[in-house]
């Protein structure tokens, strides 16, 4: 059983943390989560490493990293700059990006752009056929050799079954597995995670090592319920701001 001491979680005497590699913020067109609200929620949920993967935008990660540093938390929280890129055949995530990657490139071109920046290519959404922007199966097959990490738990898939399919695909190729909340509200952040021994993550190599030592877990939410909850949380947040 985990033990909580001064907001730090230990398991078998080892400090552990959660890693969520698929989140959205106010930088995304479909999300209103303020960047300044994220650090406190990360501490509250023990999500000590977070990838900011806004839709076709990269600036959210660096902006959040500056906020974390200004708060004196950069030795406790790790922010990974990323982007959920809209390719010509569906979405693909790049992690550790130095600059924005434009949309509508081919999947192969997008993967090459990610690698050129020293980043990691992450395949998200599993193989869910009902995910509107999932990478098409034929594109996934073509870039399989370029994938570095596979999201094997996404909280927003139509069925949990597709997470299992993604896990099998990753294990066949010996690829690291990760989890992503696909958060579009603040309270969604950390609903899917890899639990791993605590460390500060600054490089692709340190992330891969953390994932290899971790365990994938999370809470799956039916997308219809998740959409309704998102609308409620958004409206509730606006109401509180206006009071």
For the stretch 10-64, pLDDT in tens is 999 999 999 999 999 999 999 999 999 999 999 999 999 999 999 999 999 999 9
Give the per-residue pLDDT at 86: 98
Domain with residues 9-230, CATH architecture: Alpha-Beta Barrel (3.20)
Are 23 and 52 contacting, i.e. CB atoms less than 8 angstroms apart? yes
Q: What is the dihedral of CA 99, 103, 108, 112, to 10 degrees?
A: -10
Give the per-residue pLDDT at 2: 83
Which pTM was predicted?
A: 0.91
Domain limits, the chain: 9-230
Give the per-residue pLDDT at 243: 47
Mean pLDDT for the chain overall: 92
């Amino acid at each position: 059983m985990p033990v909580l001491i001064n907001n730090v979680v230990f398991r078998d005497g080892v400090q552990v943390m959660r890693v969520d590699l698929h989140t959205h913020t106010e930088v995304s067109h479909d999300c209103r989560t303020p960047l300044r609200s994220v650090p406190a929620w990360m501490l509250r949920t023990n999500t000590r490493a977070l990838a900011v993967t806004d839709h076709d935008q990269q600036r959210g990660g660096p902006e959040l990293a500056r906020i974390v540093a200004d708060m004196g938390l950069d030795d406790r929280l790790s922010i990974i700059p990323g982007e959920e890129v809209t390719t010509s055949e569906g979405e693909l995530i790049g992690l550790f990006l130095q600059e924005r990657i434009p949309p509508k490139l081919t999947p192969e071109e997008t993967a090459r752009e990610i690698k050129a920046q020293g980043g990691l290519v992450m395949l998200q959404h599993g193989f869910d056929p009902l995910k509107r922007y999932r990478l098409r199966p034929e594109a996934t097959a073509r870039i399989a050799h370029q994938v570095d990490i596979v999201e094997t738990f996404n909280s927003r898939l139509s069925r949990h079954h597709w997470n299992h399919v993604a896990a099998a695909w990753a294990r066949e190729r010996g690829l690291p597995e990760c989890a992503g909340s696909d958060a579009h509200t603040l309270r969604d952040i950390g609903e899917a995670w890899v639990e791993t021994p605590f460390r500060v993550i600054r490089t692709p190599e340190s992330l891969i090592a953390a994932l290899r030592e971790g365990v994938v877990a999370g809470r799956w939410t039916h997308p219809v319920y998740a959409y309704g909850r998102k609308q409620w949380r958004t409206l509730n947040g606006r109401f509180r701001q206006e009071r």
